[in-house]
Structure 1
Amino acid sequence: MQSSRLGWILLAPTLIVLFFFGVLPFLYVLYVSFHQWNPFAADPAMIFNGAENYRRLVFDAAFLASIGVTVAFVFFAVLTEVIIGYFLAQAFMTDFPGKAIFRTIHTLPLIMAPIIVGSIWKLMTTPSIGIIPNLLSNWFGLELNIGHSAIAAFVITIVMDVWHWTPLVTLTLIAALVSLPPDPFEQAQIDGANKRQIFWHITLPMIAPALVATVFIRLMDAMRIVDEVLMLTGGGPGSATRYIGVHIFKEVFPRTNYGYGSAISVIVLYLTIVVCWLLYTGMLAPRNTKKG
């Protein structure tokens, strides 16, 4: 009983911070989502409109389009980061010349603020001065202008996100790989298993919890990407990179539609929780059932 009380005392500071900076803001956003509110209007009072904001979402073509491009962005970005991050983690498990220097350079993007990342990629992709358009033109005869090509803008935002966040995936998977016991791998090699069999039947099941946690973190971050995209493309051209975070930003700030923007935020949170639950059910639940 005393140890239980001590545990709650030690957790109390974290729970208090979580309540004031997590729970209360969410409840306030939920409250605002049931109102029509423009705090900069002549009459800044909140007007209760029930579920009108949520009903409007169903028929909002811009919102539905932003959901579609966001899902595509999250899928390709997170999948690419996990694949590249795993191979880099495996590479860092071995010794090679310049390993320490390469790992330091590889980790540098993590310490950059998102707005700086967007600025760097904006400079690198500007047709007149950017290194990427110049290299593509000189080496392959290709013209890159993310202000004109929707596909190019979409791909570049994915590449930017992969460049920014792959180091996080690499570091988490390195920690998972280092913690694996050597006995199952030695036994598998003695039994004649090849690398593919070892990966599918030993490595992947053993790092599955760390892998799922990494995917959850990246999925939630990718769902709410705003800063980098606003700096790089502004959500354009057209709505090619108007991801859901960018859509919320443009509804809340330029249009000062706080009630509708809050409703979108609540729905996005709900969708994120559902997707994470589906991933957990699909990746870890069968594993836990086999253990049981």
Structure 2
Amino acid sequence: MHSNRLGWLLLAPTLLVLGLFGVVPFFYVVWVSFHQWNPFAANPDMIFNGAENFRRLVFDEAFLASLGATVSFVFFAVISELVLGYMLAQAFMKDFPGKGFFRTIHTLPLIMAPIIVGSVWKLMTTPSIGIIPNLLDSWFGFDLNIGQSAAAAFIVTVVMDVWHWTPLVTLSLIAALVSLPQDPFEQAQIDGAGKRQIFWHVTLPMIAPAVLATVFIRLMDALRTVDEVLMLTGGGPGAATRYVGVHIFKEVFPRTNYGYGSAISVIVLYLTIVVCWLLYVGMLAPRNTGKG
């Protein structure tokens, strides 16, 4: 009994911080989402309108377009980060000259704030002064202008996200690979299994929990991407890179539509939870079937 009280006492500061900065703001956003509220309008009071904000967003073409663009962005970014992260993790598991230096350089993007990442990529992709457009033009004769081409802007935002967050995936998978026992691999090699068979039937099932946790983290981060994209493209050209996070930002701040922006935030949180749950069930179901 004494140990339980001591445990709760030690957890109390953390629970208090989580409650004040996590739970309380969440319920406040839910409350605001059921109101029409523009604090800078002639009437700054909250006006209760029930589920009108949620009904409106179902038929909001701008929101639906941003949701579709976000799904595409998250899919290509997270898949690319997983593939590159695993390949780099396997590479860093081996010894080669300059390994420590390359690992240090590889992890540097993680210490950069998202708004700094967006600023750096903005400078690198500006047609007049950016190194990327100049190299593409001199090497391949390709004119890169993310201010005019929707496809180019989308691809650059994906590449920027991959550059920023692949090191996180690499570090997570390195930790998972280092902790794996060697007996299953030796047994598989004795049985004549090839590298592909070992990967699918030995390595992947054993690192599945780490992969799942990494996907959850990256999925939640990618769905709420705002800073980098807002600094790089501003959501343009047109609405090509107006992802959900950018759409919420523009609804809440420039248009000061706090009620409708809060409703979008609640729906995005709900969709994120549903997608994570589906991934969790989808990855665990084959393992449970195999055990049965």
The correspondence of residues 6-45 of structure 1 with structure 2, limited to 5 A, is 6-45=6-45
Q: Secondary structure at the match of 1:159?
A: helix
Q: Deviations over 1:226-271 (max 9, x none)?
A: 0000110000001100000000000000000000000000000000
Matched with 1:278 is: 278
Tell me the residue number matched to 1:229.
Answer: 229
Q: 1:288 to 1:16 in 2, by over 3 A?
A: farther
Whether contact under 8 Å (1:209, 1:284) holds in the other structure is no
Q: Which residue of 2 aligns with 1:130?
A: 130
1:229 and 1:241 in contact (8 A); partners too: yes
Any idea what the Cα deviations from partners look like across 1:161-199, whole Å, max 9, x if unmatched? Answer: 000000000000000000001111111111111110110
- Once the two structures are TM-superposed, the CA of residue 16 in structure 1 deviates from its matched residue by 1.4
Structure 1 runs of 4+ aligned residues shifted over 4 Å read none
Aligned to 2:198: 198
Partner of 1:243: 243
- TM-score with structure 1 length normalisation? 0.98
Following the alignment from structure 1 to structure 2, what is the Cα–Cα distance between the partners of residues 207 and 13?
A: 33
Distance 1:228 1:51 in 2: 32
Report the equivalent of 1:261: 261
Distance 1:213 1:10 in 2: 26
Deviations along 1:128-182, one digit per CA (max 9) or x if unpaired, are 0101100110000110000000000000000000000000000000000000011
Cα distance, 1:7 vs structure 2:
2.9
Q: Which deviations, in whole Å up to 9, do the C-alpha atoms of 1:78-107 show, x marking residues without a partner?
A: 000000000000000000111111111110
Which residue is 1:79 aligned to? 79
The CA distance in 2 between the partners of 1:211 and 1:111, in whole Å, is: 22
> Identity of counterpart residues, as a percentage?
84
The CA distance in 1 between the partners of 2:14 and 2:181, in whole Å, is 33
Q: Distance in 2 between matches of 1:53 and 1:180?
A: 49
Counterpart residue type for residue 211 of structure 1: V
Question: Structure 2 CA distance, aligned partners of 1:2 and 1:189?
Answer: 52
Secondary structure of the corresponding residue to residue 13 of structure 2: helix
Distance 1:4 1:184 in 2: 40
How far did residue 273 of structure 1 move?
0.1
**1:12–1:288 distance in 2 versus 1, CA, 3 Å:** farther
Answer whether contact 1:147 1:233 (CA < 8 A) is retained.
yes
| Equivalent position of 1:143 in the other structure | 143
Tell me the amino acid that sits aligned with residue 192 of structure 1: G
User: 2:171 maps to which residue?
Assistant: 171
Q: Deviations over 1:45-74 (max 9, x none)?
A: 100000000000111000000000000000
- Provide the TM-score with structure 2 as the length reference: 0.98
Counterpart code for 2:191: D
Shift of 1:3: 3.4
Which residue of the partner structure matches residue 51 of structure 1?
Answer: 51
Q: Measure the CA separation in 2 of the matches of 1:285 and 1:196.
A: 22
Code of the aligned partner of 2:73: F
Give, in angstroms, the shift of residue 289 of structure 1: 4.6
Bigger mean CA offset, 95-104 vs 2-11: 2-11
**1:153-192 pair list within 5 angstroms:** 153-192=153-192
Task: Measure, in 2, the Cα distance between the counterparts of 1:122 and 1:235.
Answer: 13
Distance 1:125 1:272 in 2: 31
Q: Give per-residue Cα distances to partners, 1:203-238, cap 9 Å, x unaligned.
A: 000000000000000000000000000110000001
Map residues 59-74 of structure 1 onto 2, 5 A cutoff.
59-74=59-74
Which is further off, 16-25 or 165-174? 16-25
Contact 1:146–1:153 (Cα < 8 Å) also in 2: yes
Structure 2 residue runs of 5 or longer lacking an equivalent are: none
Looking at structure 2, the residues matched to 276 and 144 of structure 1 have their Cα atoms a distance apart, in angstroms, of: 35
AA of the residue aligned to 2:270: Y
User: Shift of the alpha carbon at 1:18?
Assistant: 1.1
- Name the amino acid aligned to 1:33: S
